[in-house]
Amino acid sequence: MPTSSADLVARLKKGDLRAASRLMSRAEAHDDETLNSLGAIYKAAGQAHIVGLTGVPGSGKSTLVSKLVEGMREDGRKVGIIAIDPSSPFSGGAILGDRIRMTNLVMDEGVFIRSMATRGSTGGLARSALTSVDILDAAGFDVIIIETVGVGQDEVEIAKASHSTLVVSAPGLGDDVQAIKAGILEIADIHVVSKCDRSDSNRTITDLKVMLAMGINIAIKDRDGKPLWQVPVVGTSSETGEGIKTLIDTLDKHRNVHLNTELGEERLRQIAEYRTFKTAEDLLRNRFFKSTNKTIKNVVEQIAKRESDPFTASNDLLKKIAF
Amino acid sequence: MGLPIRVLLAKVGLDGHDRGVKVVARTLRDAGMDVIYTGLHRTPEEVVNAAVQEDVDILGISLLSGAHMTICPKIMQLLEDKDAADTIVVVGGVVPDEDVTPLKEMGVKELLLQDTPPKEIVARLEKLVEERGPR
Amino acid sequence: MSTLNKEDPKQLVKQLELWEDNEVNTFLNKQPEREDNFYTLGGFPVKRTYTALDTKDIPIDDIGLPGQYPFTRGPYPTMYRSRYWTMRQIAGFGTGEDTNNRFKYLISQGQTGLSTDFDMPTLMGYDSDHPMSDGEVGREGVAIDTLADMEALFDGIDLEKISVSMTINPTAWILLAMYIALAKRRGDDLNKLSGTVQADILKEYVAQKEYIYPISPSVRIVRDCITYCAENMKRYNPINISGYHISEAGSSPLHEIAFTMANATTYVEEVVKTGMDVDQFAPRLAFFFVGQADFFEEIAKFRAARRVWAKIMKNQFGAKKAESMRLRFHCQTAAASLTKPQYKVNIMRTTVQALAAVLGGAQSLHTNGMDEAFAIPTEEAMKIALRTQQVIADETNVANVIDPLGGSYFLENLTTQYENKIFEILDEVKEKGGTIKLIEEGWFQKHIADFAYETALKKQDGQKPVIGVNKYVEENEQADITTHPYDSTTADRQISRLQTVRATRDNNKIEKLLNELIEVAKDERQNIMPITIELVDAGATMGDIVEKLRTLWGTYRENPVF
Ligand code: B12
Ligand SMILES: Nc1nc2c(ncn2[C@@H]2O[C@H](COP(=O)(O)OP(=O)(O)O)[C@@H](O)[C@H]2O)c(=O)[nH]1
Ligand SMILES: [Mg+2]
């Protein structure tokens, strides 16, 4: 007889990581009983610093996470990692490869790594990834890093739905500024240029800085127009360790600018809005496809016969939901 | 909503034979499963930690080094200690016939050794998860 | 009746057309062929038959004569007419004493060279009492921690008289140092020692997966082995550049050779950079290939490998000496082609593969045991495998004519196709940024994994028949076989000698030498061999040396490719 999710939540709040990992599976599976417990988890969470990290495949994200976390562990912070890799569009299966870059962390009791697959656009990735973040948060992790591949809207938005968003670019992956090509230049709170042990990394840094200087005014200012946060470019190397400490300090600074400030509160509202929308979307989709309800079948039948149309019918369906 | 079966594929000890495990990883992915690979040269502790955090349905251990009677008992014990005894453990690779029974007695659910066709591996794993039921 | 005339291809084209229209068609109408298209195991399409038309574009000099550039027909002018290939069965299990007994048994059975397999801790640089070694000591090969083990391993064997091959890679230089230290203690002449350490680290990253340090310092160690031997051990092969493992990891025969050549040229470049003349070391570079199941393809593969190497050495590296251009290789039959079901059939498979190696001109050969799919081989299995070689040598007369298949339309054509494809791949490697970059990017590994996966699927659907596995299967077969037993006292015996060495050596001296080692390692211009020889002679363990250098170089971690 499987343990009830309520039990698991109780264990989770005491920091039981086995409970955490099981709850993540159940939440991802959209298990009804578990969904009822997720609210309690959400409310228990809210202490951790959530860091979103994105960049094109191969830019060195996972390796960077492994070094970053090593550094954060030096001052005792517990770190959770949600590492997201793409599913195969053909089979729906996936080989989740991020963890392999993080073997240095596996024996550390203060680190928790969870791999997730994107599962295509209807897989509810945002909901389940952010729920997993809550779970780690409620379990007492101080920092939670979400690594997503910077391609695909969902993946980018997830990285954005964090307190601090890192965008990673690497030398040697082509001549263009990758972040622009991937459409993720603007979402960065901090730009990271990885692999700075390589001789061509200076160019990547310069290109990026030029782009930022030219581009939209990305500096965040207070009411008096004084810049609160100027998006920096930090060079790192996971080979030599260069820049890792600086990156940690920069992350902390970014966190402080947002802690208990109007700016921070605004960001929390944005995240809340995004999550609500994604969760609603997901619940709706689930209910729609899971429904054994005759209504939907009838509606579909009518639309197919052109007796009704998708617009009127959707509106009618939505009216049944009270906002 | 049915989730893909989650499998952790592990190479434990000094064994570097990875041709088989790679074939298996690809096979399972192509059958729609989520596969996490530990990489080579892992310790039993590392593998079990990963299995716990990833909450996998199946821990698949690939061993061709002959060290299975040292490694498997350690893994079974650690799973027990970490409250993860409900993980289905499967072993593949080179294991002499006479070790099959002792391994099963210590809780290994299935041994899928040389020349097991990929399709059969998929079918066996699906069956094992189905037999286990929800958890 | 007219003779076939190379000068008149038109006549031949005509004859072929008529044959197809008449004889072939008549038969096809009665019974279609087994397949629409036929391919070699490596995927080369093969035609119904081959004629002079298929060889007419091959320059006569490319075929040449045995012992003559480009050595297509063999590295030596007399080949097996003067001496058979070296019959070199692998041995290695337990402690030095255990393997020493097996060596002596094999020699008594007519084996003419020795080949040593080491256990995983030795292969990976761990001492037998390291936690990672638990359960692995002496299991898959012989355990060597210190020079004392080496003494036991070669006890009563005259190293000046028999050539010894050691299958060892990331720790090859330490084993070589032990071998040298042992020979020196015995008063042997280093210039009389013959044999090889495998020491081919690049293929480890792509195929065998025994690595310790990152690529760059690892290649430097290989370079040091090569230059040290060139200066101090005239008859010794400091490296055995291997396609075998690439093939067994799943690659096609074409990639086996092409990737091996890519690795080989990388080593040559590294050594040349030190300022050493190519003709000073190239003559002692040796190769190691697999003998796969596709009989003719394998022979063509070996012949093409020789031709390609000769051309590379001459044209790319400007070698002057013929010895620098002649490729010599050891061959092992294809272990991964052997099966657990109906295991005795493995003897037939091995026989055919061994014959291809001999017809392909191998210098040395290991034939696998019938128990390959079960465990490391028993004495009995090795005896039959050795006898297989002896039958080929002594009873079949195949060794009396050199390159007897030379001139075969099919074989010459396939040899040249192989050559061309190998050069194409080598060009691609260059264009994409070179061997080391491509290893880091997983390019070789991807090709290997793809072919391995394809092979698994073809076996599954029967497209690749394997007797006993997907064809002529015997239900409920009970294997009636005695396999190699693992002696459970091995680790204790081994560790006790290790502890004795540690207790009796001068630890201060070891400490001092280890610090010197680090200094040598830091300075790329120095050679790591002399200090390592001093260390092992003073009783340093393999683990002492490996761990010390890990503090400087770190540990390699692979990016797996599926
Ligand atoms: C190929 C091979 C190699 C290649 C490996 C290349 C690579 N990267 O993998 C090379 C040549 C490098 C090699 C080297 C060595 N080898 Co080797 N090798 C083999 C061989 C011939 C075939 C293995 C193979 O790849 N088969 C093909 C694949 C597809 O099959 P598979 O691995 O069995 O996997 C299938 C199933 O087992 C199953 N499976 C596998 N894993 C898993 C996991 C799960 C979860 C599941 C569900 C299923 C599953 O699914 C696969 C598909 O059917 C075997 C003998 C044999 N016939 O098995 C010896 C063998 C395993 N090797 C052996 C030895 C001793 C060595 C060495 C130690 C020799 C030495 N002293 O130098 C080295 C060590 C290398 C290392 N780093 O560990 C011994 C092991 C002895 C023992 N266990 O008692 C064997 C048995 C040979 C022998 N008789 O001596 N080897
Ligand atoms: N030279 C160098 N290579 C790196 C560095 N970080 C990562 N890499 C390599 O870049 C590749 C991709 O790294 P990975 O972390 O998996 O990237 P991800 O796909 O963005 O997660 C791997 O081959 C890494 O070894 C670095 O700092 N320097
Ligand atoms: Mg990654």
* Percent of chain A's residues with pLDDT above 90: 53
Nearest-by-CA chain C residue for A62: C559
Contacts of A284 in chain B (CB under 8 A): none
The answer to whether A66 touches A72, Cβ cutoff 8 Å, is no
pLDDT over 80 at A73, yes or no = yes
Same-domain check for residues A10 and A151: no
- Let me know whether A122 and A252 are in one domain: yes
A76 and A7 both lie in a single domain: no
Q: What residues have CB less than 8 Å from A226, skipping those under 6 apart?
A: none
Show contacts of C441-448: CB within 8 Å, 24+ apart.
C442/C559, C442/C561, C444/C206, C444/C246, C444/C255, C444/C259, C444/C262, C445/C206, C445/C560, C445/C561, C446/C561, C447/C251, C447/C252, C447/C255, C447/C259, C448/C206, C448/C207, C448/C246, C448/C249, C448/C250, C448/C251, C448/C255
CATH class, domain B6-130, is alpha beta
Question: Least CB-CB distance to C120: which of B15, B29, B43?
Answer: B15
pLDDT surpasses 50 at B1: no
* A96 to chain B, closest Cα gap in Å: 5
Among the partner residues A21, A92, A103, nearest to B52 by beta-carbon distance: A21
Instruction: Determine the average pLDDT of the residues in A57-64.
Output: 94
Question: To the nearest whole angstrom, how far is the Cα of C209 from the nearest Cα of chain B?
Answer: 5
- pLDDT band at A237; cut points 50, 70, 90: very high
pLDDT at residue A280 greater than cutoff 90: no
In a domain, A302, yes or no: yes
Residues A12, A115: one domain? Answer: no
Quick one: average pLDDT of B73-96?
97
Which of C123, C373, C453 shows the shortest C-beta gap to B23? C453
Q: What is the dihedral of CA B52, B56, B62, B67, to 10 degrees?
A: 30
Contact C560 A100 (CB under 8 A): yes
For residue A236, the ligand closest to its alpha carbon is: 2
- For A99, the enclosing helix (H) or strand (E) is none
* CA atoms within 13 Å, Cβ hemisphere of C175: 32
Distance to chain A for B38, nearest Cα, Å: 6
Which chain C residue has the Cα nearest residue A239?
C554
Q: Whose CA is nearest to atom 46 of ligand 1?
A: B92
- At residue C1, the pLDDT reads 39
A18 touches chain B (CB under 8 A): yes
CB contact set of C167 (below 8 Å; sequence gap of 6+): C90, C92, C115, C116, C117, C118, C141, C198
Please give the residue range of the domain that contains residue A291.
278-318
Q: How confident is the model at residue A215, as a pLDDT?
A: 65
Extended strands (E) in C334-425:
364-366
Residue A63, ligand 2, Cβ within 6 A: yes
For residue B41, the chain C residues in CB contact (below 8 A) are 124, 132
CA–CA gap between residue A20 and residue B129 (Å, rounded): 21
Write down the pLDDT at residue C5: 55
pLDDT the model gives residue B54: 98
Check whether residue A239 and residue A295 sit in a common domain: no
* Domain boundaries along the sequence of chain B: 6-130
ipTM, interface predicted TM-score of the complex? 0.96
pLDDT, tens digit (0-9, with 9 covering 90-100), for A103-122: 999 999 999 999 999 887 66
* Any A CB within 8 A of C557 CB: yes
Band of residue A155 on the pLDDT scale cut at 50, 70, 90: confident
Which tokens in the block code for residue B20?
A: 């088989």
Q: Cis link prior to C70 (omega < 30° from 0)? A: yes
Of ligand 1's listed atoms, the one at least distance from the Cα of B63 is 41
Tell me: pLDDT of A184 over 90. no
Cβ(C117) to ligand 1 under 6 A? yes
Is the pLDDT at A154 greater than 90? The verdict is no
- Mutate one of B9, B11, B19 to test the C interface: name it (highest C CB count within 10 A): B19
- Do A235 and A308 belong together in one domain? no
- When computed from its CA atoms, the radius of gyration of chain C, rounded to whole angstroms, is 24
- Cα separation of the two ends of chain A: 37
Residue A298 lies in a domain: yes
Q: Which chain C residues are Cβ-neighbours of A239 within 8 angstroms? A: none
Whether residue A182 sits in one domain with residue A210: yes
Tens-digit pLDDT profile for residues C425-471: 999 999 999 999 999 999 999 999 999 999 999 999 999 999 999 99
Q: Is C245 in the pocket of ligand 1 (CB under 6 A)?
A: yes
Name the residue with the closest Cα to ligand 2, atom 4. A195
pLDDT at B75 over 90: yes
Residue A39 inside a domain? The answer is no
Beta bridge partners of B9: B37, B60
Q: Say if A284 falls within a structural domain.
A: yes
Least confident of A172-186, B23-37, C68-82, C221-235: A172-186
How far separated are the first and last CA of chain C, in Å rounded? 58
Identify residue C368 by its one-letter amino acid code: N
Tell me if A218 sits within 8 A of A176, measured CB to CB: no
Find out whether C91 and C105 touch, Cβ atoms under 8 Å.
no
Residue A92 pLDDT > 80, yes or no? Answer: yes
Please tell me whether residues A20 and A142 are part of one structural domain.
no
**A63 and A195 fall within a common domain:** yes
Q: What are phi and psi of C170, to 5 degrees?
A: -65, -25
The reply to whether ligand 2 has any atom less than 6 angstroms from the CB of A62 is yes
Model pLDDT, residue A31 = 75
Please indicate, yes or no, whether residues A115 and A60 belong to a single structural domain of this protein.
Answer: yes
What domains, with CATH codes, occur in chain C? 84-429+438-460 (3.20.20.240)
> Per-block average pLDDT, block size 10, for chain C (562 residues)?
61 95 96 96 97 96 97 98 96 97 94 95 98 97 98 97 96 98 97 97 98 98 97 97 98 98 98 97 98 98 98 98 98 98 98 98 98 96 97 98 98 98 98 96 97 97 96 91 95 97 98 98 97 98 98 95 94
Of C208, C452, C557, which is closest to B16 when you measure between CB atoms? C208
User: SS3 of B62, please?
Assistant: strand
Query: A256 and A121 in one domain?
Result: yes
Query: Does residue A152 share a domain with residue A283?
Result: no
- CB of A141 within 8 Å of a chain B CB? The answer is no
Q: Does B11 lie at the interface with A, CB-CB under 8 angstroms? A: no
